[in-house]
Structure 1
C-alpha cells in the first residue's frame, strides 16, 4: 500500500563497507568512510555551544504544575561549572567518584557535566537498582566498585531506602529535594550558586582522551553488573564517526528531541545525550515509559513537542501504533515535522513498521526513514543503518573508525569489535579487560549474518544472543532471540511479546502476552466477561499464523509446537523487564517455571495451544 510512496530525504551518506576475508574463515569489516577531526572532550563541546547558541533551549523538563521548565545551553554550562567548582573546593581523594541516583533531569546534567569538568568520574546508576530492589544488592555492589565521595539524588525521600542500604560514613549526599539521613549532606542549590574560579578552567585544560569521564554499569541480568570505564576519547570518537556520515546542511533546523532513554545507560547517557549536544538540539525529557500507565505521558508529550526525530525501543513503537490508529491529533503532532525514526535494543517487527509508514503516508504524504544503531556498554555505538531501507531487523554497517571481526559459528557469525570507541577495561581497572580475544577485539556475545552475502553493503542482520541459545533434547540448537523476533513478526499485531522455551525438551514452545489494544482494533471488542486470552477468534488467528510459520520453517529449531498465553505481564520488580522495556528471557523462564512445566506437560491442559 505504501511501498511506492517516497521517503522523506535522509541527510546521511549511503552504505559503504570494506570486507577482508581471512584464512581462518573470519571476516574483517570497516566503513568506507573515515574522519580526521575529533573533539577534545564533551565539556569542550558544551563550552563551544554555550558560546555559539547561548540562548537556545538545551534541556526542558516538566515542572510539578505540568509546564515545561527550560534551560538554555548557557544555563547548563554555567551550572556545570558551578558544580565543578564545588567538587574542586572539596579536594576529593584520588580514585573517588560522584554517584548519581536519579532519573534523567536538568539537575542530573549539571552534576554529570560538572563532574567531567572537575575530572572526577561520574557513576550514573540505573534507577531500578535503587527503587525496584528489595535487598539493593546491585546498588551496593556498584557503590563498592566506584567508591563515591559524593552521592547525588534528586529526591532523598524517594531514594531513602536505597541510601540507607549504603555505608555513607565518608560520603557527602547532595540532594535537590527531600531530607537525607546521611551524616553529611547538602543542597544542590547551594552548589549551583557557587562562583567558579580559575581552578575550573585549569581542570578542564588537563582533560585528555584517556581521562575517565564515567563509570557505567551493565544491567547485571546474568550476574553482578560490571563497571565499564567510559573515557572522553571513546565518546568523542563516537561523535566523529557520526559526523562523518551526516550530510552537511546549513539550512536544516535544529533537532527537537523527545527523550525518555535513561542516562544511566550508554544509549541514552552517552550516545543520545552527546550527539544531541554536538548538534545543538533541544531535548525535551519524557517522563513517560513504554509500559501501561506511563506511555500516556509520552503521548501527551508528543502532542506538546512534535519532535523532528523519535527514537525508542520496539515495544514503544507497538504501543505508539495502537495510539495513532484512533487519534488524529496525535498523528498530526507526531508526523508533522518528523524527519527520522530510530529503534534499538531489538528488531522492530515488520508489521509495526509497515503500519507506521501507512499512517505517515496518510498524514503527511510520505514515508519516514527508519534508522537503527547497535552497540553495548563496552563499545558505544559500533554499527548503524544510516541509509533508507525497507528492511527491519538490520544492525547496519560498521561506523567509521571501528573494525568488526565476524567469526563463523554454524550458519551465523559471532560479532567482535575493536576501535577507539571500545572501553579500556572493566571494574574501574584498565587491566580488567573481560571478554577481549587474543587480537584485542571485544566479544559482544551476539551473532549476525549478512542480509545478502553477495552484497555486503546491504547490511548485517541481528541473528541472536549467543547466550540465549539452548538445545533441545535432540541436541538441536535453538537461536532463541532470533526465533522470538520471527514469532512476533508472524503473529503481529496480536502479541506484545513472548519468551521462547524448550531447553531439554523435544520441541520449542512459547509463552506469550497478548496486545489487547491491537486485538480490539483488529477483531473488535469482546464480551465483557471474556478476557482476551480466552477469545476463540484470537486463538484461531494465532493458530493460523503460527501453523503457517511452521509450514515455512518445519525444522525443530524453528517450528513452534505449543503456545501458552500468559495473563500476568512481565515484572520490573522481579527483573523480568529492564528499565528499557526489554524482556530477560532467562529470568522469565526461571520465575515462571510452573508455567514452563505446564507448557510442556505430557497431557497439555486447556490453556495450552498445541500446534501442527
Structure 2
C-alpha cells in the first residue's frame, strides 16, 4: 500500500478552501490497482431528516426552497416551515396506506411541492420514485411509466397539473393508484392540512441508514430503465464525504440556482442534499440550457447571485455569450461565487477559458473549476478538491470510496465500492447479479487513467465509456467520449453537439448539431437550424475547421472523415437528449439510422474529409 498527497490546504478563491488531495494506492498485479481516499468517512447521521431537523432549530427563518410563483415573484419556504409541512404531508401519505412497499411516484418536475413531498415520504420510510417528465407527457404509449409502475407498485402518484398529466393519471387510476395534484380531486393543499401525530413520530423513529429512500431509474438507453435502490446511507455518505473535502461548505450557507432534474442523482441527490446538509438555500431554476429557456436561467442568476454554480457543458455554452455581453449579469454571477461545477469530463477548452477570463476580470482571481464522477448506482465516486487546469480530471476517490482499475481493451475499467454504492436494482435480481464483481465492486462501464502515473493525488482522467467505444473494420478502437469532446472543441463555437459514427466501417463520421446563436453571429441573419445547415458560411466554417483538425491527427482512430449537419435538434421527447442536456449516443444513432446511412452514402449534404460538397 502506497500513498500520495498534496500536503498543504488548497485555497482557490477568497472563500473556497479544499482539503489536500490524499490518496492510497494498492497494486493488485497485472496492471490492476485500487485507489482509496486517505480521509475516513464519518457517518454519524442516521437519516436525511436529521439535517432538516437541525436547521429547523438552528436557522428556522432561513430560506430553504424557492421557486417562481404565478406572479413571477419568488415563493419560498424556510427550514422551520419545511419541517412542519414535511410532517403534515408525511401524516397524509401514511393515512393513504403508503409504506416501504408502496412508494410515492412524482411525475412532474422540480418544484417546492415536489421537494416537500420528497422529504415527507423519506421522513417516514416511504420510498420516493421521481419519474422523468417526458415519460408521462410525451410518450403516447406510456411504456416506460407502465414499466416503472410494474416495478415499484406505487401507492400514490403526484403531478402538479392534473390536466397536463391527464393521460398518465387515467392510466394510474386504472391501476387503483391514488392521485394527488395541485388542481385535481385530491389536492396538495388538502394534504397539507393533515395533522402530524404519533404515527409520524413512530415511523420516523424506524428510519435508519439501511432504509430505502428512493428508487431512481436509469435512462433506459439500451432497454427499459432499471430501478436503482437508493438508501439513506448512500445519500448521507455522499454529503459527509463532500463536506470533508470541501470544508468551506460549513463556513457559510451555500446558495444555488439550479435546474438539474431531481429524477437524476446529480440534481436530486448531490445538489439538493448538499443544501440540506449545509443549511443552504436552493432557488429552483425554471430555465434550461435550450433556446427560449436559457433566458429564465439568466434572469434567476442575475437576481440571486449563487455561491455555487452547477451545470452541464451545454448550459455553460449558452450562458457564456450572455456573460460577455451583460455586465450586470457578469457581476451578479461572479460576485460571491465559490466554484463552478461542470458535470462530466467534457467541458470544451473554449468554455473553460472564456469563463476563467471573465472570472479574472470580475474578481481578479481564478474561480475554481471542479467536477466529480458518479452514477445513479454510485453517487460521487470521485471528486475534485485541488487545482485543475483543464476538463477531463474527475478528481480522486472521496472518503469511503474505493476505485478498482482493471485493464480492459487497452483502457483501465473503473469499478466502485463503498457506502455510496447501491445494493442493486429493485425486483431485478438478474441485473443486480450482473452489476457486481466477486469482490462487491460495481461495474461502471467507464474507463479512467491517472493524470500522473507516479502521483495518484494529481487526479483521475475520465477515459470514456467502454460500452460506447467501437472498432473500425480495420480493428482500430475508437474512444467515442474523448473523440467527441475533441471534435466539438475543433468545431467550436458553431457545433453544439455531435454523435460519433463508424462502427464496423472503414472511417469515422459524425452527425453535427448546430449552435443557433453562433450561426446567427457568423451569418448575420436569423434562420432555422435547417436553414443554417444549408448556409454556405456555416458549411465553409465547418469544412475548414474539420480540415485543420484532421491535419493534426496521426491515425484513423481520431480522424473524422465525413460529417453531416443535422437539420433538427436532438429530441427531449424521444429521450435523444437526456434530462440533463446530454446527447444519448446510442439512442441518437438508432433514431437517426437513415442519417447515418446517408452520411456514408455520400449524399449531397455531407462534408467529406474537410471539403464542403
Contact 1:322–1:517 (8 Å) recurs in 2: no
Q: Does 1:377 find its partner at 2:376?
A: yes
For 1:475-497, what per-residue CA distance to the aligned partner results, in whole angstroms no more than 9, with x for missing partners?
A: 22211122101111222222111
* Residue matched to 1:388: 387
Partner residue in 2 for 1:140: 146
Q: Displacement, 1:120?
A: 1.3
Residues 501, 510 of structure 1: 8 Å contact kept: yes
* Residue in 1 that maps onto 2:268: 269
- Within 5 Å, which residues of 2 pair with 1:137-536? 137-166=143-172, 168-177=174-183, 179=184, 186-247=186-247, 252-428=251-427, 432-521=432-521, 523=522, 525-526=524-525, 531-536=531-536
What SS is found at the alignment partner of 1:571?
Answer: coil
Structure 2 equivalent of residue 580 of structure 1: 580
Change over 3 Å in CA distance of 1:541–1:7 after alignment to 2 = farther
Deviation at 1:547, TM superposition (A): 2.7
Deviations along 1:113-151, one digit per CA (max 9) or x if unpaired, are 111122111111111111121211001100111111111
Residue 182 of structure 1 corresponds to none
Verify the 8 A CA contact 2:571 2:577 in the aligned structure 1.
yes
CA deviation string 1:519-571 (max 9, x = no partner):
455x4625989943344444444334333332332211111111211221111
User: 2:345, 2:393 within 8 Å by CA — same for their partners in 1?
Assistant: no
SS in 2 for 1:204: helix
* SS across alignment from 2:415: strand
Q: How does 1:559-574 map to 2 (within 5 A)?
A: 559-574=559-574
Q: Is the 8 A contact 2:523 2:538 kept in 1?
A: no
The CA distance in 1 between the partners of 2:93 and 2:189, in whole Å, is: 14
Alignment partners' CA distance in 2, 1:99 and 1:451:
42
CA shift in 2, pair 1:44/1:434, >3 Å: farther
Partner of 2:137: 131
Give me the whole-angstrom Cα distance separating, in 2, the residues matched to 1:119 and 1:577. Answer: 33
Residue aligning to 2:32 = 26
Structure 2 CA distance for partners of 1:69 and 1:582, relative to 1, 3 Å: same
Shift of 1:346: 4.5
Task: For structure 1, list consecutive stretches of 5 or more residues without a partner in the other structure.
Answer: 1-5, 180-184
| Contact kept in structure 1, 2:345 and 2:394, CA below 8 Å | no
- Indicate if the aligned counterparts of 1:38 and 1:236 stay in contact, CA closer than 8 A: no
Q: For the structure 1 residues 345 and 137, does the alpha-carbon distance in structure 2 shift closer, same or farther, using more than 3 Å as the test?
A: farther
Contact 2:488 2:495 in 1 (8 A): yes
Instruction: Report the 3-state secondary structure (helix = DSSP H, G, I; strand = E; otherwise coil) of the residue aligned with 2:490.
Output: helix
The CA distance in 1 between the partners of 2:560 and 2:224, in whole Å, is 33
Task: Rate the CA distance shift 1:253–1:227 in 2: closer, same or farther, 3 A.
Answer: same
Q: How does 1:94-133 map to 2 (within 5 A)?
A: 95-133=101-139
Q: Do 1:8 and 1:369's aligned partners in 2 also have CA atoms closer than 8 Å?
A: no
Check the 8 A contact 1:424/1:430 in 2, yes or no: no
Q: Equivalents in 2 of 1:422, 1:35: separation in Å?
A: 14
| Matched position secondary structure for 1:19 | strand
- Determine helix, strand or coil for the equivalent of 1:334: helix
1: distance between equivalents of 2:562 and 2:407? 31
Distance 1:534 1:148 in 2: 49
- Judge conservation of contact 2:118–2:128 (CA < 8 Å) in 1: yes
- How far residue 10 of structure 1 moved from its aligned partner, in angstroms, is 2.5
Structure 1 residue 455 displacement after superposition:
2.5
2:56 alignment partner in structure 1: 50
Q: Distance in 1 between matches of 2:226 and 2:337?
A: 37
Structure 2 CA distance, aligned partners of 1:151 and 1:158?
14
Q: Distance in 2 between matches of 1:407 and 1:109?
A: 40
Query: Are 1:229 and 1:428, in contact at CA under 8 Å, matched by a contact in 2?
Result: no
Alignment length, in residue pairs? 599
Residue 593 of structure 1: how far off its partner (Å): 1.9
Q: What displacement does 1:344 show?
A: 0.8
- How does the TM-score come out when normalised to structure 1? 0.93
